[in-house]
Structure 1
């Protein structure tokens, strides 16, 4: 027994509908892009309302993430942070030049 969907199809009408769908495809893509942009903006506003900006000045003491430098290998149970280090210069955009407690300047990672 054939299904209603296969029996009731009109080939001419179906081709017209497919062409119409192709014409409207670009509009649907634009609507999806607008919806995506709105969602990203909403998430950004939510995050920025709760995040607290931290800046350091020369002379401040900080710890550095061991994930970034891999200075101490300890595996899963190894230390997550290393330091303390002294900030000697603020380079801008949350980048700093650091000096260890013995006076050696740390190289960039």
Structure 2
């Protein structure tokens, strides 16, 4: 239980690790995409490491300026890569569009309206669509929250 009290001391280390961790989709770190260069982890500064011992300040400053010049190109390259990935994954998505006035069922698994267990109902409704929002979000009559299209199914009355 003593370890749970000292979590605030560890937050900065966890955040630093998250910011400097290489992301798999673009092979860059969040820090390098923001500032144009790789971060030196605070642990590396405190330790005598080869990276910190062999640094030449004038060459380092020139390299940092070059990284800043290349930052915009790196961001454009990553934006193109993400657009290709988005196109690839969105090609597999079956799109269902509802219009106001259409009737649909909503998933009981996402709404948790009825506890039926394994043999309980999978869908509940029908509900009437009141408003179609952006990116597959819908408002239903007598509902306070919005529903995503993946939790909805067309009802043919």
TM-score (ref. length: structure 1): 0.56
Residue range with higher mean Cα deviation, 22-31 or 89-98: 89-98
Structure with max Cα Rg:
1
> What is aligned with 1:102?
none
Residue 41 and residue 59 in structure 1: after superposition, are their counterparts in 2 closer, same or farther (change >3 A)? closer
2:122 to 54, 57, 81: 81
Note the 1:1-109 alignment, pairs <5 A. 14-57=56-99, 58=101, 60=103, 62-73=104-115, 77=118, 81-87=122-128, 89-93=129-133, 94-98=137-141, 106-109=142-145
Instruction: Describe the superposition over 1:39-98 as per-residue Cα deviations: whole angstroms up to 9, x where unpaired.
Output: 1110122233332321235353x32123432212467x57583313142x4412241425
- Give unmatched runs, 5+ long, in structure 1: 99-105
Query: How far apart are the structure 2 equivalents of 1:34 and 1:63?
Result: 42
Aligned length: 89
TM-aligned CA distance change 1:63 to 1:81, over 3 Å: farther
Structure 1 stretches of 4+ with a deviation exceeding 6 A read: none
Structure 1 position 33, deviation (Å): 1.4
Q: Distance in 2 between matches of 1:69 and 1:35?
A: 40
Structure 2 stretches lacking a partner, 5+ long: 1-49, 146-157
Change (3 A) 1:59 1:30: closer
State the TM-score, normalized to the length of structure 2. 0.43
* Helix, strand or coil at the partner of 2:73: helix
More strand per residue: 1 or 2? 1
